[in-house]
Amino acid sequence: MSQLTNYIQKELSKGFSKKQIKQKLLQAGYTDDNIKESFKSLDKGEPLLKRELDHIYYDIHVKWSKFVFPMLAIFVLFFLGYLVFLYATSQMSFVGEIEQKVVTDCDDECKLELEQVNCRRTDDYAGCLASLALKNNDPAICNGLDDCIATVAISLEDGSICEEYLSRSSGCANSYFEAIGDADYCTPGDLACGYDATMSDEEKKEFFAKQISTLDIDDSEYILSFAIENSESLLCQYYDEQDEILLNILAEYDLEAFDYCIFIVAYHANNPQICMETHKNSLCQEMIGCDDLKEDLCNALQ
For 1-40, letters b (16+ CB in 10 Å) and e give eeebbebbbebbeeeeeeeebbeebeeeeeeeeebeebbe
Identify the pLDDT of residue 283. Answer: 86
Identify the pLDDT of residue 169. Answer: 56
Q: How far apart are CA 174 and CA 127, in angstroms?
A: 18
Neighbours of 87 (CB within 10 A): 10
pLDDT in tens, 22-72: 887 887 788 888 878 877 877 765 554 455 545 555 555 555 556 666 777
pLDDT in tens, 133-169: 888 888 888 888 888 888 998 999 898 888 888 865 5
pTM (two decimals): 0.51
Q: Which of 13-17, 60-64, 252-256, 277-281 has the lowest mean pLDDT?
A: 60-64
pLDDT in tens, 39-53: 787 776 555 445 554
Identify the pLDDT of residue 115. Answer: 43
DSSP, collapsed to helix, strand or coil, labels residue 213 as coil
Would the pLDDT of 123 be above 60?
yes
